[in-house]
Structure 1
Amino acid sequence: MTSWSNLPAELRLAILQIVADTSMGHIATYASVCSEWQEVFEAKSFERIVLSQRRVLEFAQIVQGPRRRLVKHIWLRIELSDDDHSSYKTISLREMDFEGRDNFVGVIKVLFTTLSAWERPRDLNKEGLTLEFCAYSPSDSEHMPKDRDFAHDPYSEPAEEISALPNPREHPAPTQLDRDNLFRNIFRLTKSYVSIMWFNNDYESAVLPEVNVVTSFLIRRQYYRKFDPNDMYYILVNLTGLESIIYEPQREWITSQSESDICYCRLFEYMLPPSLKRLTVFENYEEELAAVIAAPGESGRVRSPEVSQALMRRSQALEHLSAAFIIDAMDFLRPFWPPASQPIPWSWAKLKTIALTSQVLKPDSNRDLISYLCEAAGLAARNMPNLEIMEIWNGDGDKHGSIFRFCNEEMVSTITWQSNWEMKLAEWVLSSWRITVYETRHHNNLSVRYANLPMDGTRFPASVLPHLKLKDQVLHPVSFRQIQLIGTSRNK
C-alpha cells in the first residue's frame, strides 16, 4: 500500500489544497500536523481575518512575522448593542460599553497601530491587503423585511441565505400600518450614522498612525448602518498606500439627500488619498423597499451636479472609475455637452475604464437628449488617451434596460448600443466618435453594433449588470451576487 509520504510532493500539495479550499469547518488544527500541512492550512486560515472589537488585540498578538504576508483581507465587524435601533440620533460608539474593551476609536487606533508596524513589501501579500468595515446590531434583522440577516458572513456561508423582499405578486398589498412600521424601522437604521471619530470634540483621540500596507478599502451594501462621510477622511488619509476604494453606501431618502450630497462633495474632492488608482461607488437602492416606504411624490434620486463635478475633478488621477446611481453621467459630462466649442483643459491621462449610470437612458427620453449624452461621452474620451472601455447604463424594474458602450481593442474600436427598446444613434454622434478614435488611437476602424438586452423578469439592476463588460468594477463580487439573488428571486 502506498503511504502518504511516498506520494509525489506535487500530488500531496494538490490534495492538501483541495482539502483547504473545500473544508467548511475550522481547519486551523490541521496546520499542527507537520510543517508541510502548516504551510497550506495556515495560508488558508489567515488569508481572511474577521475581527470584532473584542478580537483586535488578539489579532496583534497572533498575526506576527511570516503570518502577516498570508493575510489578504481584514474585516472589522463592529457589533452594536441591541437597543441602538431605538434612537434617531447619530450613534457615537464612544458612548458604548464593549465589555471593558476599548471604544471604537480605540479599536481603530489599536488596529492601525498594529498595521503601521507592517512593512511593505515584506509583510504585504502579493494580491494586496483589503480592509473592510461594517457595523450592525444583532437585532437589526428583526426590524427589516423578511430574512434580512446582517450577521450573515457571505464569504464563508452560502449566498442563497440572503433573501429579498416577498414577491409582491404572491403577497397582499401592505396596509398603511405595515408601511408606517416598516418606514420607522428602516428610518431608524439608515438615519443612524456610526460616528467613527468625534464625540464631545475630542479631536485628539482621532489621531491615527499611518498604514501603508492596506491597498484596498471596502464598505459593502449589505449593511444599512452608515459611516459618516465626514469622518471617513480620518481613515482614508492615513491609508497612505491605498490603491482601491469600493464604497457602497445606502441611498438617503429624498428629504436627506442634499445634506449627504454635501458630504459626498467633500469626500470625493478633498478626502481621497493621492495614491488611489481605482474608485468604485455604488449607491445601493432597492426599488421595491423604497416603493413601500417612500413619501408621496418621491421617485428616484434627486440629481446632484455638484457631486458629479466633484467626482469629475478628482477622477482625473484615476485609472478606473465606476459611479452607479450616486451621480448622473449627464452631469459628469456636462462640460463636454454640445455645443462644446472650446477645448476642455481637464485630462484623464491614466484612465483606462469608466462606468456611469444615467436616467437619460430610457425609452421615453427624447432621442436627441440621448444622442447629446453619447456625443458628450465621445468628446470627453478625447481627453482620455488610454481609455479601453466606457459604459453608460440604466434600467427600470423588469421593464427596460440599456447600455451604451465604447471599447478599444488593439486597432479596432467598437460602439455598442444594447437595449430592449428601439434606438439608433444619430450619424452626427458616430461622426464625432470617429474623430475621437482617430485623435486618440490614430486609426479609422470604428464599428457600430446594436444588440438586444434580454429581459426575463429579472429586476434592475440585476437585469443589466451581467451584460456589462465592467461588471466586476461596478460593485464588489459579493454584492453582485446578492443583487442577483434579490433581482431574480421574484420569479421563483
Structure 2
Amino acid sequence: MGRWGSLPAEIRSMILEMVAEDYRFKSEQYALAGYASVCREWQPVFEPRNFQRLVLDQERISDLEQVMSTKQRRDYLEHLFLRVRLNDYDCTVCKSKEDYGTIRNNNDIFSTAIWNLLVILSKWTGFAGSRRQQGLTLELGAFSPSDSKHAFRDFHLEHNYPYQEKKDLETHWEGYKLRADKLGLDSLNDPYHWWANGRRDDVSLESKQRIMGTLTINPNLPQFSAFFQAFPKVEIITGLLIRRQFYRKIAANSLGKLLRETFTNLRWFRHEAWHDVDPQQQSSFEKDYKRLISWHLPNTLRELYIFEDFNKLLHPERSTKRANPSLGRALSKSSRYLENLSAAFLVDAKDFFPNLWPANEQNSNVIPWENLRKLALTSRLLHPKIGRGKINKLLIAAARAAAFMPKLEVMEIWNGGEGHACLFRYNNNAGEPKIIWACNWGSHVQLDQNVIHCWANLPRHGQHPHGNLTTVVHRLRRGRKQVKTYAATILHLKLRSSVLDLISDYQVFWEEYNHSKG
C-alpha cells in the first residue's frame, strides 16, 4: 500500500477504473465486493458498482434490509433480480409431470419469497427525490437446480449462467465455448435422457411439463394470511422484467394481482413467457392473460413488451397455431395510453386491427393511440403459404390504424420460423416516411400498389416538406434452408430491443447458431 500511495492520485484513479471496468464473470465471484472494503479511497469507486445490480434467492432476502439500510446504497441499486430456487429432483421423477404435492410446495416457496421481498421494498419510499429518479427494475424468475441436469441441458438454465448484465455480453461466445469444451457436447451420450452423441432427438411430454410448471401465489400461507387483504404497495419499482431464461411461468392471475395492487409507479413491463406444451393449460393461461391485459395494467404503464417463446423441440406443431383473437382485441383496447408496445406470437396483428380491415367501413369513432410512438407486432399471415390478398389486407389495416397514431415513429409487423422470414416496416422518425417490405420467399418480392397508396396518404405526411413516401423492397439475404427459427427475422428489426431483452436476444441467437447440437 506504500507503493500504491506514492502514485499520483490521477494514476490511482485510472487504475481503479480500469480494474472495475475489466471485471468479468471469470473473475473470483466476490472479488469486486471485496475491493470496496480495502480503504476509503477504493470505496466510492467499487461500491456503486457492487450495489448497482443484486441477485437474490429466497435465502438471501432476509439480509437485504440490513445490507441496503442506507439511502446511499439504495440509490446505487438499479436492478434487483429475485431468482427463486425450487427444490431439487432426481431421475425417479424427471420424466414425469410434477405431482400435486410438488406443485403446492413450489407455490409456497415462490409465494413466501415474493411476499418477503415486497415487504422490504415497500419501506423504500421517497425515491422521487433521490438522484436516481428512474426508480428500480425488479426481475423475477424461478427454477430448480435440477432443471439443467436431465433432458434439458440448456446453458441458461444453469445456476452459474454467466450472462447476467450487458457488460457480460462483451465476451461474445466465450462463456458458451468454455462450457462446450468442459462438457464435451460432441461426445455427450445419455440415452436415458434422449441424448446421443451430443444430440437430443426427442423428449417426452411429461419431461417437458416437469420444467414448464406454472407458479401461483398462494394467499393462504399462515405466515402472512392475516395480512393478505392486499399486497404491499411498492413505489420504487418502475420496471418489471420476466425473461425467457427459465421455462416456468408465473400464473397470469398472480401477475395481475401484483400489477393491480403492488407496483404503484410501474412505467414498463417486459414479459417473456414460454408457450405451454399442455393445450388445456395454455388455454387457461390465455383466458387469465386476457383479464390481465383488459383490467390489470396499471394506468402509470407506458411501455409494454410481450413475447411468447417456443422452439421445435418443445413445440413441434407450434408454428401452425392460430393466436387467440380475443387477446389481440383486448390488447388493442388497453394499449391506447402506451408509448411503446411490442407483442410477439401471443397475439396476431390481424386481431390488433379488428375494425380497420378493408372489408369494413373505416370507423370514425376509433379511439386513437394518442401517445404511441413504437409498435411491433407479429402475424402468421406473413408466411409463404398465405395468399398475397390476405397479406395486403393486413398491411392496409395497419395503415388505417396508423392514421389514428399521430406520434407514430416506427411500426414493424414481422414473422419468422423454420424456412421463412418476413418484415414490414413503416418509419417516420425524421419526418421522411419510408416503408420497407422484405422476405426470403416468393419468386418476385413485390409490394401491392394499394398498400403503398394507403401508407402514402396518411394525413401526417402532408405536414412535412419531405413528406413523399419512400418504398424499399428487397429479399432477405438468408435463404429458406438457412432460416431455422424466428431469430433470423429479429436480426433485421429496427425495434429489436423492444421485442426481446438484450440477454434474451443473445440467448436466442446462440441457440440458432448452435441449432445442430440439439
TM-score (norm 2): 0.83
In the alignment, the residues of structure 1 paired with residue 350 and residue 514 of structure 2 have an alpha-carbon distance, to the nearest angstrom, of: 32
Change (3 A) 1:447 1:109: same
Change (3 A) 1:78 1:438: closer
1:344 Cα deviation after fit: 4.1
Partner of 2:103: 91
Partner of 2:276: 252
Counterpart of 1:33 in structure 2: which amino acid? V
1:155–1:478 contact (8 Å) kept in structure 2: yes
1:124–1:213 contact (8 Å) kept in structure 2: no
In the alignment, the residues of structure 1 paired with residue 284 and residue 234 of structure 2 have an alpha-carbon distance, to the nearest angstrom, of: 31
Change (3 A) 1:338 1:159: farther
2:202–2:313 contact (8 Å) kept in structure 1: no
Change (3 A) 1:94 1:454: closer
Paired residues for 1:404-419 under 5 Å: 404-419=424-439
Counterpart of 1:325 in structure 2: which amino acid? F
Partner of 2:171: none
Change (3 A) 1:258 1:361: same
Partner of 1:356: 377
Counterpart of 2:332 in structure 1: which amino acid? M
Partner of 1:160: 176
Partner of 1:430: 452
Counterpart of 1:196 in structure 2: which amino acid? I
Paired residues for 1:435-446 under 5 Å: 435-438=457-460, 441-442=463-464, 444-446=467-469
1:346 Cα deviation after fit: 1.6
Q: Can you give the 5+ residue segments of structure 1 that lack an aligned partner in the other structure?
A: 97-102
Partner of 2:336: 316
Q: 1:280 and 2:305 equivalent?
A: yes
Change (3 A) 1:390 1:39: same
Q: Deviations over 1:24-64 (max 9, x none)?
A: 33211111222231011111111111111111110111112
Partner of 1:39: 44
In the alignment, the residues of structure 2 paired with residue 425 and residue 344 of structure 1 have an alpha-carbon distance, to the nearest angstrom, of: 29
Give the match's secondary structure for 2:488.
coil
In the alignment, the residues of structure 2 paired with residue 82 and residue 3 of structure 1 have an alpha-carbon distance, to the nearest angstrom, of: 50
Change (3 A) 1:402 1:92: same
Q: Deviations over 1:441-474 (max 9, x none)?
A: 5563210011221216252221111110000010
Partner of 1:99: none
Equivalent of 1:108, from 114, 127, 138? Answer: 114
Paired residues for 1:378-389 under 5 Å: 378-389=399-410
Q: CA RMSD of the aligned region, Å?
A: 3.0
Change (3 A) 1:355 1:403: same
Counterpart of 2:159 in structure 1: which amino acid? A
Aligned length: 472
In the alignment, the residues of structure 2 paired with residue 260 and residue 225 of structure 1 have an alpha-carbon distance, to the nearest angstrom, of: 13
In the alignment, the residues of structure 2 paired with residue 340 and residue 283 of structure 1 have an alpha-carbon distance, to the nearest angstrom, of: 30
Paired residues for 1:234-249 under 5 Å: 234-237=257-260, 238-249=262-273
Give the match's secondary structure for 1:450.
strand
2:203–2:313 contact (8 Å) kept in structure 1: no
In the alignment, the residues of structure 1 paired with residue 403 and residue 491 of structure 2 have an alpha-carbon distance, to the nearest angstrom, of: 28
Change (3 A) 1:109 1:7: same
Moved more, 73-82 or 254-263: 254-263
Paired residues for 1:298-313 under 5 Å: 299-313=319-333
Q: 1:28 and 2:33 equivalent?
A: yes
TM-score (norm 1): 0.87
1:141 Cα deviation after fit: 1.6
Equivalent of 2:412, from 391, 415, 419? Answer: 391
Give the match's secondary structure for 2:336.
helix
1:105 Cα deviation after fit: 3.4
Moved more, 455-464 or 434-443: 434-443
Q: Deviations over 1:386-433 (max 9, x none)?
A: 000000011221x22110000003231000001122332221211111
In the alignment, the residues of structure 1 paired with residue 115 and residue 131 of structure 2 have an alpha-carbon distance, to the nearest angstrom, of: 20
1:440 Cα deviation after fit: 7.7
Moved more, 151-160 or 410-419: 151-160
Change (3 A) 1:95 1:116: closer
1:203 Cα deviation after fit: 8.1
Q: 1:233 and 2:256 equivalent?
A: yes
Moved more, 63-72 or 419-428: 419-428
Equivalent of 1:210, from 192, 210, 233? Answer: 233
In the alignment, the residues of structure 2 paired with residue 372 and residue 4 of structure 1 have an alpha-carbon distance, to the nearest angstrom, of: 70
Q: Deviations over 1:127-165 (max 9, x none)?
A: 5411011111111123333444342432167652788xx
1:179 Cα deviation after fit: 7.7
Give the match's secondary structure for 1:210.
coil
Give the match's secondary structure for 1:369.
helix
Q: 1:64 and 2:84 equivalent?
A: no
Q: 1:334 and 2:359 equivalent?
A: no
